[in-house]
Structure 1
Amino acid sequence: MTIHTEWYRIFMYAAQFGNLTKAGQMLHMTQPSVSYAIKQLEEALGMTLFDRLSKGVRLTQEGQLLFEHVKLAFAHLDTGEKQMRQLKQFKDGQVRIGANGAIIKDILLPKLDLFHQSYPDIHVRLIQNRTSLIVQHLKEGKLDIGFIHLPLDDSELAIKYTAPLRNCFVVGARYRELAEYVVTTAQLLTIPLLLLSAGSRTRSFVEQWFSRQGYTIDADIELNSLEMLAVFAERGYGAAFVPRSYVEAELARGVLFELHTEVPIDDRQFGIATRRDLTLSLPTAKFLELFQHEA
């Protein structure tokens, strides 16, 4: 015999009140309907759950044992329903994001500020990494959203919004005179190059820029942090290749200077990637709404 979940709910109310009529009133059922449901449950389990008394019912030992489990089960269900309501009201939940340094500072952080102000109860988890690892973590289900450099051709991922990122070479006061006129690529190569570590999308991008002009380059100083590239450039170690927006404050203060290259540096595109086959959580979908105007 199939046991219906509602029988357990009726059983729980009868156990709590010790009276079938009272249980029926609370459940908006008649007393005979309550009695019938309990009888069906007893027959399905093959044991007596209540002793019938002149003024109500009392749990048997077996009934008491079952009651403890049923009470706990419905408490879990109630907790689950409460959490679902909190999720709908954006009072619970999390958003797991992967991005790299430039995108975090210039694209992601302003939106995170807005999101946190509007939904302070949503927990944001942010991991800084390169595009290849962000893509891997998306596929493994460790991230909900990945802010990645494009192009990217991956059938498992959907790119929802894109926007340009401008890159440039910057130098400190030691090489300031180079910023006063347009520099050729050959002139640029007369000073040390400060680049992100090999294998990063940014490193590959600048290597391709030089390659199209017939040059193969090596980094004089290779770092895995945009912040450190800017620091080394400011201290006069050479020309750092960085997103322009990442060093706007330093450019405005006059501690870094942008080089104007004879061969233009194309804007790069970044995209927001999600798993194509997964439904976005409510908090994740709400967060992505902040980027709709970027499309």
Structure 2
Amino acid sequence: MTTDLELYKIFVTVAQAGSFSAGAKELFLTQPAVSQAVQKLEQQLGARLFVRGRKGVTLTQEGQMLFQHALSALQLLDAGEEKLRRVQTLKDGQLRLGAADTITKEFLLPYLSAFRQLHPGIQLKVTNRTSRQLTELLKQGQLDIAIVNLPILDERLIVQPILEVHDIFVAGHLFAELEGQFLTLRELAGYPLVMLEREANSRRYVDDWFAEQGVRLAPEIELGAHELLPSFAAIGFGLACVVQEFCQKELAEGVVFPLHLVPPVPARSIGACWVRDLPLSSAAGELMRLLHSERN
């Protein structure tokens, strides 16, 4: 379309008002300016749009046809602008969030509840996958933001740490002799171990750190859910690697006890990531605000 959209707005307003003077008043323009705009539109289209009379103007046949299309187009634009305003002010829209199961359950749920109470008009879609699977969904454009286990090293993503966590090993009563004792990494590796599957980013982090210390971990049991780890440790299947912050209930109840490693596994973080070349949506930005404000 080569014609200035403003000309169509003036044309539609004049047609609805029935005269150049009434149209000018609605548009807060002078009557000559409105008349010139209509003439310019007629020249560009090569068609006469109005029949001028002493009591105002009426649409020609060509003008009537154009008016219906122009009115619909302007109404669609107005609706689009209103939709955009509602999305920008968090009254409408969608948030496509990705997060691992454990992170969702143990960390995110209170923030998602607060988000829903503050912005009930936002449709929340949550996808649960491993951290590495979520980063792929981000890059495919299927998610707006993902909360994942760090580290994530990918130049296409912006990564922002949110929560520091600690990977520890716990044991149940069948290993009571280990309570209060200090274990070297090599000594730990000699016991039966229960860990997450290798696809889990947190598992990779622990494996890689032990390997840097010259120790290889070979767990007898690999599980897909973090919440099962302390349960397996409690009934004596082995020493389980858990996130300390997500195992507080079992530790407090004495179902399992923490082991003292020398040296301990370094702390890591849970963080948010999104595609570098795409600005955060208003809804995703609001979730980040909640995550930071609640923790500061």
**1:118-133 equivalence runs, <5 A:** 118-133=118-133
Determine what percentage of the aligned residue pairs are the same residue.
38
Determine helix, strand or coil for the equivalent of 2:266.
coil
Q: Which residue of 2 aligns with 1:230?
A: 230
Amino acid paired to 2:250: E
- Bigger shift: 43-52 or 27-36? 27-36
Amino acid paired to 1:29: L
Determine helix, strand or coil for the equivalent of 2:121.
coil
Amino acid paired to 2:96: R
**1:259-270 equivalence runs, <5 A:** 259-270=259-270
For residues 25 and 135 of structure 1, the distance between their equivalents in structure 2, rounded to whole angstroms, comes to: 55
Amino acid paired to 1:152: I
CA contact (8 A) 1:105 1:246 kept: no
For residues 81 and 213 of structure 2, the distance between their equivalents in structure 1, rounded to whole angstroms, comes to: 62
How far does residue 27 in structure 1 lie from its aligned partner after superposition?
Answer: 1.5
Q: Which residue of 2 aligns with 1:271?
A: 271
How far does residue 72 in structure 1 lie from its aligned partner after superposition?
Answer: 1.3
For residues 56 and 176 of structure 2, the distance between their equivalents in structure 1, rounded to whole angstroms, comes to: 94
Q: Which residue of 2 aligns with 1:136?
A: 136
Q: Which residue of 1 aligns with 2:14?
A: 14
CA contact (8 A) 1:12 1:71 kept: yes
Q: Which residue of 1 aligns with 2:194?
A: 194
For residues 13 and 28 of structure 1, the distance between their equivalents in structure 2, rounded to whole angstroms, comes to: 11
Residues 15/89 of structure 1: CA separation in 2 closer, same or farther (3 Å cut): same
CA contact (8 A) 1:158 1:275 kept: yes
Residues 61/219 of structure 1: CA separation in 2 closer, same or farther (3 Å cut): farther
Deviations 1:199-218, CA, capped at 9 Å, x for gaps:
32222223234435544333
- Bigger shift: 266-275 or 63-72? 266-275
How far does residue 282 in structure 1 lie from its aligned partner after superposition?
Answer: 2.4
Q: Over aligned residues, Cα RMSD in angstroms?
A: 2.9
CA contact (8 A) 2:149 2:269 kept: yes
For residues 116 and 176 of structure 2, the distance between their equivalents in structure 1, rounded to whole angstroms, comes to: 40
Gaps of 5+ in 1: none
For residues 116 and 47 of structure 1, the distance between their equivalents in structure 2, rounded to whole angstroms, comes to: 53
CA contact (8 A) 2:100 2:130 kept: yes
For residues 32 and 186 of structure 1, the distance between their equivalents in structure 2, rounded to whole angstroms, comes to: 90
CA contact (8 A) 1:100 1:130 kept: yes
**1:16-55 equivalence runs, <5 A:** 16-55=16-55
Could you state the TM-score of these two structures normalised by the residue count of structure 1? 0.85
For residues 238 and 106 of structure 2, the distance between their equivalents in structure 1, rounded to whole angstroms, comes to: 24
Determine helix, strand or coil for the equivalent of 2:51.
strand
Q: Does 1:241 align with 2:215?
A: no
CA contact (8 A) 1:10 1:34 kept: yes
How far does residue 7 in structure 1 lie from its aligned partner after superposition?
Answer: 1.3
How far does residue 138 in structure 1 lie from its aligned partner after superposition?
Answer: 2.6
Determine helix, strand or coil for the equivalent of 1:52.
strand
**1:130-169 equivalence runs, <5 A:** 130-169=130-169
How far does residue 165 in structure 1 lie from its aligned partner after superposition?
Answer: 0.8
Structure 1 runs (4+) greater than 6 angstroms displaced: none
CA contact (8 A) 2:185 2:261 kept: yes
Determine helix, strand or coil for the equivalent of 1:12.
helix
Q: Does 1:105 align with 2:78?
A: no
Determine helix, strand or coil for the equivalent of 2:270.
strand
CA contact (8 A) 2:91 2:119 kept: yes
For residues 262 and 234 of structure 2, the distance between their equivalents in structure 1, rounded to whole angstroms, comes to: 22
Could you state the TM-score of these two structures normalised by the residue count of structure 2? 0.84
Q: Which residue of 2 aligns with 1:90?
A: 90
How far does residue 184 in structure 1 lie from its aligned partner after superposition?
Answer: 4.9
Determine helix, strand or coil for the equivalent of 2:272.
strand
Residues 257/211 of structure 1: CA separation in 2 closer, same or farther (3 Å cut): same
CA contact (8 A) 2:157 2:275 kept: yes
Deviations 1:105-131, CA, capped at 9 Å, x for gaps:
344333333333333333333222222
Query: Number of residue pairs matched?
Result: 295
Gaps of 5+ in 2: none
Residues 184/155 of structure 1: CA separation in 2 closer, same or farther (3 Å cut): closer
Determine helix, strand or coil for the equivalent of 2:250.
helix
How far does residue 242 in structure 1 lie from its aligned partner after superposition?
Answer: 1.4
Amino acid paired to 1:148: V
For residues 109 and 257 of structure 2, the distance between their equivalents in structure 1, rounded to whole angstroms, comes to: 25
